[in-house]
Amino acid sequence: MIIGLLLTNNGVENMERQITEFIINQAKLSIVQGDITKQNTDAIVNAANSSLMGGGGVDGAIHKAGGPTILKECQQIVARQGRLPAGKAVITKGGNLKAKHVIHTVGPIWRGGEKGESEILASAYRESLKLAMEYKFNSISFPSISTGAYSYPVDKASVIALKTVINTLRNSTDTIREVIFVLYNNQIFKAYTSALKELAKQQIS
């Protein structure tokens, strides 16, 4: 059950802006504008590609900040189980990152919306949370999966991302107490903020 929505505008460290918090059972969902590589949650999520060999965007930033051990572990995973299908997730250690673990998932490439994109995107969030629960993490940070190089329209992606996390937290009695969406640019941040306000209105009314 959702028990509250709090709107704040704190001066958070690292130039982050945090404006929206949403309480679901015992967990807090919040949205901040910032760089996910600076987060100290138990895990941060990487919007990777199926090769798990790194790339641009948030993937490149995570590998750069975390150092080469992350890529090494990714190579071992691919050697063991092959490429990572879209909608699935795997986990590595965090290397030099503050977060001790990185959950790598692959979102859908936007192809117009009729190719199962929404289900694959929801699955990427669900599978990432499932891994976090298996590892008994208390906190996890997500980027906005698929809304960069993979071109998923953010007005649609934000609703799917938030709904999937809210529904998972609502149906869970697990260890997760904090989920943070860490959004790099202002346009994406604004889209998530208005999507969350809209969802909150629907939930509360």
Residues annotated as part of the active site:
59
- Asked whether 124 and 145 are in contact (CB, 8 A), the reply is yes
Q: Which is nearer to ligand AR6, 46 or 168 (CB)?
A: 46
The C-alpha atoms of residue 99 and residue 43 are separated, in whole angstroms, by 5
Shortest gap between Cβ of 22 and ligand AR6 (angstroms)? 19
The C-alpha atoms of residue 161 and residue 42 are separated, in whole angstroms, by 19
The C-alpha atoms of residue 43 and residue 140 are separated, in whole angstroms, by 5
The C-alpha atoms of residue 135 and residue 38 are separated, in whole angstroms, by 21
The C-alpha atoms of residue 46 and residue 39 are separated, in whole angstroms, by 12
Q: Which residues bind ligand AR6 (CB under 6 A)?
A: 35-37, 47-49, 55-59, 61, 107, 143-150, 182, 184-185, 188
Shortest gap between Cβ of 81 and ligand AR6 (angstroms)? 18
Paired tokens of 114:
């009729």
Shortest gap between Cβ of 29 and ligand AR6 (angstroms)? 17
Q: Which is nearer to ligand AR6, 56 or 85 (CB)?
A: 56
Q: Which is nearer to ligand AR6, 66 or 107 (CB)?
A: 107
